[in-house]
Structure 1
């Protein structure tokens, strides 16, 4: 990080402290770039995998990681730049909901759903890597699956993000870093997306019989719902 950015971070942290922000407050105007209106996105390491679901089933099995935990990424708020970290296990409470409703979608479009937790076609869990996304029975006859599958195989699309609401978090003592301690993904989404913010991820693609070349991806992003 260059000296100019370090200076801007220090300036923004000082402004937060002087502006009455408490350590338990959530970031205001949270976004991934300096300009207002930018989406709230983060980068992380993850993997994307697509393979045949089973012999003669005709279905596809998708597995990915929509976010990484304990990995700092750059964000901006009302005062300027800061770093943000999602704590390991931050989604545990939300993921344990009996009525958890989260779809796997394309590009955060709620109508382009290819799997969903409520009908058993999508399973979300946490691991050391982050938020694991498992859709074991995608129907290649679905128009959106048919659209995205060849792009995943070719490595043309190899990124993910997820949409959620921050429930609880805290600022570091100097207000330069915000840690998300708990998030709620109920009625948010996990998404296969095009471009993210930073070059961090890698992914691979497999068929039932043949392991294809490992594909180096660019980024995995994590997008947040507007919060109050």
Structure 2
């Protein structure tokens, strides 16, 4: 069965079973396989390194964890569909004074490298989507681990974990538009592969190389010490 036929069949089944267009997707996930995660992922571009201005050699990471008004493929109980995040979907959640969102590696909550509550991570919305700006410590083992992979473009995608607060299916049930999300206690993440190919990021190199202490810590971690 072709993707078009699968999408059409899924939409027809969805139209029969979904009670109202405001209902959220059932068993929403990133891939066809049951049990796949439901995060939105997107490719990065223009990866580079530079020192954060006036910050003693720390790294500055910038990019987009998600784009708005661009469709990407997702799956639900019935099959594939297109999903779109509205331009204003982040406005309410980003206005929280207690917003707690970390920047992590691979959605691993123990591999945090920045966080909104510590003042090292800023999240805003621009004409592309959810913009990420973080100040990273090059002595952090996880930062030392990911920096050369970003430089070499071995890892070049981002993702974010969130909750859907409001959305609407299109009249033919082939597209779901997310109108409002909740990022609080979710995350923005650097990941290996993604479904949405439209975001970008930049991790900029410090004026001096990563310290020998950081390198030694990284070697110990990789050796399991």
Give the TM-score taking structure 1 as reference length: 0.83
Residues 63-93 of structure 1 show CA distances to partners (whole Å, capped at 9, x for unaligned) of 1110011111111111111111000120110
1:13 aligns with 2:11: yes
**Alignment RMSD (CA, Å):** 2.1
Structure 1 or 2: larger helix share? Answer: 2
Q: Residue 19 and residue 120 in structure 1: after superposition, are their counterparts in 2 closer, same or farther (change >3 A)?
A: same
Q: Is 1:50–1:63's contact at 8 Å kept on the other side of the alignment?
A: no
Residues 41-82 of structure 1 show CA distances to partners (whole Å, capped at 9, x for unaligned) of 445465455321125711111111100111111111111111
Question: Distance in 1 between the 2:9 and 2:51 partners?
Answer: 52
Give the TM-score taking structure 2 as reference length: 0.84
Query: SS where residue 34 of structure 2 aligns?
Result: coil
Match of 2:127 in 1: 128
Aligned 1:147-226 pairs, distance under 5 A: 147-197=145-195, 200=198, 206-207=204-205
Q: Residue 113 and residue 57 in structure 1: after superposition, are their counterparts in 2 closer, same or farther (change >3 A)?
A: same
Unaligned runs of 5+ in 1: 210-228
Query: SS where residue 181 of structure 1 aligns?
Result: strand
Match of 1:224 in 2: none
Q: Is 1:46–1:68's contact at 8 Å kept on the other side of the alignment?
A: no
Which 10-residue stretch deviates more, 153-162 or 178-187?
153-162
Count of aligned residue pairs for this structure pair: 206
Query: Whose relative contact order is higher, 1 or 2, with alpha carbons under 8 Å and at least 6 apart?
Result: 2
Q: Is 2:32–2:80's contact at 8 Å kept on the other side of the alignment?
A: yes
Q: Residue 196 and residue 147 in structure 1: after superposition, are their counterparts in 2 closer, same or farther (change >3 A)?
A: same
Query: SS where residue 131 of structure 1 aligns?
Result: strand
Unaligned runs of 5+ in 2: 208-225
Q: Is 2:99–2:117's contact at 8 Å kept on the other side of the alignment?
A: yes
